[in-house]
Structure 1
Amino acid sequence: PRGSGRVLKFLVHSDYTCADLQWIFLGAQVVKETNLRIFCAGRLLNDGNELGQYLARDGSIVSIERDCDTPLHFTQEVSVLFPDGKRRDIRAGPTVTFWQLALQLEGRTGEDAQSMSLYCGSNLLNPHLTLEQCGIGPDSTIRVAICQSNNT
């Protein structure tokens, strides 16, 4: 990514497109956002461009920017405390929303996302905000509570 100085190596082919690269970056847990702009040899790739149009040789640098002014967020680990008392770290970037996180937790709890309440400390998280807006960072712990559906 531009400006971060962090270099990651991936094996790519000259017929890969920008969209293919986005899937590689997302799958490697490098970034969670899909609104990325990807540059090769200083030129912006669009979804239809093949890297072969830009790659002069193996080892060319591909750089990433988000398609807005805010800095690129790498994924981070967030500690989650489940109702069974077990604590697990899951990957959740600052721009992940409450609902995205609840859906991610669905498979781990066997509970429907609609039945979950998520807390940080004693604060109930607002479903309409991102983790960053809720003040959640890599050192935070999110507690999952399951709401009983029998109106008690």
Structure 2
Amino acid sequence: MWDDELAYEADDLECNIQAPTWMVQFSGQCKSWLDALPQHLRRTEENVRDPLFRFFEREMNLGAGLLSDIRRDLNELLSIYCGDQKQNNHSRQLIDALVKRKRVPANWLQFSVPNNLTALEWMRDFVQRMEQLKRLSLSENLRNEEVWLGGMFFPEAYITATRQLIAQTKG
């Protein structure tokens, strides 16, 4: 057994088990990512004729689905770390991508990112995207909200929605 494979006890995540060093370190990363991500995004019912509403609804649906998948995957990895669950092919792929290659898992890539982006950099960006969507989901008037275009999944659709809104307003 190599030095870096030596197991030691880790109880900082409420798991009282023996685990390899890499697993202990990565479980801490999973926990911090879960803490940074919102639990869910609130969806509102508004006038479906509003192009901005339709755009934001699509963005929020995509964001909510991706957020749910990521939270499920991270919780699965923590369950494996705690010994509550065994590894499966999906979790092995997650570990390979996140731990060994430090890349974003393929099933998380729902929007374009540079090829050399690390999982940590991607997660920081994703957390900011989710914070924007959370703020927008709580908005009473989407027309008056500041929007970070780079934080949208489909920014070109926002431009189209604003054009449609202006066309509707001007008749």
TM normalised by structure 1 equals: 0.28
Greater relative CO (CA pairs within 8 A, separation 6+): 2
Q: TM-score, normalised by structure 2?
A: 0.26
Q: Which has the higher helix share?
A: 2
The structure in which a higher percent of residues are strand is 1
